[in-house]
Amino acid sequence: MYHTLLIIHSYWRWVVLISLLLAIYKSYFGWKNQLNFTKNDNLLRHLTATILHIQLILGLMLYSLSPLVKYFYQDFIHAIHLREIRFFGMEHISSMIISITIITIGSIKAKRKLDDNQKFKTMFWYYLIGLLLIFTSIPWAFSPLVSRPLLRF
């Protein structure tokens, strides 16, 4: 089950990144061009937040099953000094929860704004901040600190 979740999670993260990039682009374009916030814009706002929440659930399931995380908690004193173990046991999960929280707050705030331009602006800034935090917390294949393959097979 762990390996199946790992594969699903590794592909789903691309859905997360694509939806976030699309939502950020669309909100920036709508904000700068003073466009009306349409039903499609609202759907994109909602779908992006939903996709992130699905990723959160998958991530929490992986976190609870991960051998690295189990080791992190079993031998905390030693594991906290090991970069990769600390990253997956503490840093990655914390950053991802914070970023999803930021994006969720932005989605809620954007939904409640009355002015279309403010909806786009709110969505843009919250989603961008969340995305930047996500980018810093992904174990990229090219990272010198902690790396994982971009796709798992």
How many C-beta atoms lie closer than 10 Å to residue 115's C-beta?
Answer: 10
What's the burial of 33, exposed, middle or buried (CB within 10 Å: 0-12/13-18/19+)? exposed
Query: What pLDDT does 34 receive?
Result: 97
Question: Measured between alpha carbons, how far is 37 from 42 in angstroms, rounded to an integer?
Answer: 7
Query: What pLDDT does 151 receive?
Result: 65
Question: Measured between alpha carbons, how far is 117 from 115 in angstroms, rounded to an integer?
Answer: 6
Query: What pLDDT does 11 receive?
Result: 87
Q: What percent of the chain is predicted at pLDDT more than 90?
A: 75
Q: What are phi and psi of 50, to 5 degrees?
A: -65, -45
Contact indicator for 136, 145 with CB cutoff of 8 Å: no
Residue of 106, 6, 113, 98 lying closest to 49 (CA atoms) = 106
Range 131-147 average pLDDT: 81
Contact indicator for 86, 80 with CB cutoff of 8 Å: yes
Query: What pLDDT does 123 receive?
Result: 98
**Whole-model pTM?**
0.89
Give the Cα-Cα-Cα angle 23, 29, 35 (nearest 5 degrees): 105
pLDDT tens-digit profile of 36-95?
999 999 999 999 999 999 999 999 999 999 998 999 999 999 999 998 899 989 999 999
The residue behind tokens 């929280």 is 101
> Which token pair is 72?
């992190």
pLDDT tens-digit profile of 89-119?
999 999 999 999 999 999 999 999 999 999 9
Query: What pLDDT does 141 receive?
Result: 75
Residues making up the chain, counted from first to last: 153
Comparing 139 with 29, which gets the higher pLDDT?
A: 29
Question: How sure is the predictor about 2, in pLDDT bands with cuts at 50, 70 and 90?
Answer: confident
Q: Is residue 127 classed as helix, strand or coil in its secondary structure?
A: helix
Average model confidence (pLDDT) across the chain: 92
Query: What pLDDT does 7 receive?
Result: 84
Contact indicator for 103, 49 with CB cutoff of 8 Å: yes
Question: How sure is the predictor about 124, in pLDDT bands with cuts at 50, 70 and 90?
Answer: very high
